Amino acid sequence: MICVLSGGTGGAKFVDGLRQVMPAEEITLVVNTGDDLLWWGLYVSPDIDSITYVLSGMLSRERGWGVKGDTFLCLQAMGQLGEPTWFHTGDRDLAMHLLRSRLLAEGKTLSEATAVISQKLGVKARILPMSDSRVETRVDTPIGELSFEEYFVQRWYQDPVNAVRFAGASDAEPAPGVVDAITSADAVIIAPSNPITSIGPILAVPGIHNALLQAKARIAKPKIAAISPIVGNAPVAGPAGILMQAQGLPCSIAGVAHAYEDFLDLLVCDTRDARAADMLRQSGLRVHCTRTVMRTADDKAALAREVLSLISPDLLKDKTPAVPQVDSQP
């Protein structure tokens, strides 16, 4: 069993690879919920949605979010009713939010609702929200404090960022199963997600950081690996660089290593960062360079295979090197 800590974008790409190279039943995902929002009165959990969609084969790989082939007629109609339309919920996608919202209104926890939906969509991996309590990523900018989705989607992450905080985190508990999934895993992978606003909220939930320390201590072999979402001095996508700098971290693999330094055994970074990798190795961290930018399904599978072969090769479906496949999905 491996445990993956993940956000929704880079994380979903990596998970798309992972599900190709190992049995999905052997994966537990601990997913960021700091971006969750009430949208049109519905509870939307963008990262859980992306992970659920990728694992059910429903994700639009073209957009990287939402359901493939979706339409946006309800969104248009909401616009005609004068409602906000900056968060793009597709017509098929709405079903996810409607069902989750109903389950929550009926008294189910977010974990329980997530499990119900996973089961209905035939998802074999286990998806756990980081917490069943509300933890909100708040981004402090010159125009005021924004929710993550306001900062990221509504305002296209154009605002300078003073700081990031996770409202509610100190009172939150890890969702049932999260600590056990981390401490009992054969290996823990930190997906190539934004260290501040995708992995940061997970680590801010009391008990999770400790679980990682326990996991690291349990056996000697490299057990906790992170894939860097930064190549050179820029993120592969999104606002990770701005946010890391706002939190006092350099936008580099050194910054990523620093974010996870308490528990990290192995950092996987891009071959273009070979020199920076050498510097990090001098500080005692194990660093592996490979191609980390995932454009095709093959890229995703190759990266997942490489990471797994370093930390938990027994879980690989096929021990021979990957044969390039045709990616038939848009």
> From the CB of 57, what's the least distance to a second copy, in Å?
12
**Closest CB to a second copy among residues 117, 253:** 117
**Closest CB to a second copy among residues 86, 156:** 86
**Closest CB to a second copy among residues 62, 83:** 83
Helices (H) and strands (E) in the chain, counts: 13, 14
**Closest CB to a second copy among residues 82, 248:** 82
> From the CB of 38, what's the least distance to a second copy, in Å?
9
Neighbour-count burial of 160, counting CB atoms closer than 10 A to its CB (0-12 exposed, 13-18 middle, 19+ buried)? exposed
Interface residues with a second copy (CB under 8 A) are 40-42, 67, 70-71, 73-74, 76-78, 80-83, 90-96, 98-99, 101-102, 105, 117, 120-121
Are 277 and 238 within 8 A, CB to CB?
no
Rounded to whole angstroms, the Cα distance separating 287 from 105 reads 46
> From the CB of 81, what's the least distance to a second copy, in Å?
5
> From the CB of 69, what's the least distance to a second copy, in Å?
9
> From the CB of 189, what's the least distance to a second copy, in Å?
29
Instruction: List the one residue out of 226, 266, 294 whose CA is nearest residue 17.
Output: 294
Q: Half-sphere exposure of residue 203, counting CA atoms within 13 Å on the CB side?
A: 19
**Closest CB to a second copy among residues 41, 330:** 41
| Sequence-distant (≥ 6) Cβ neighbours of residue 322 within 8 angstroms | 21, 298, 301, 302, 305
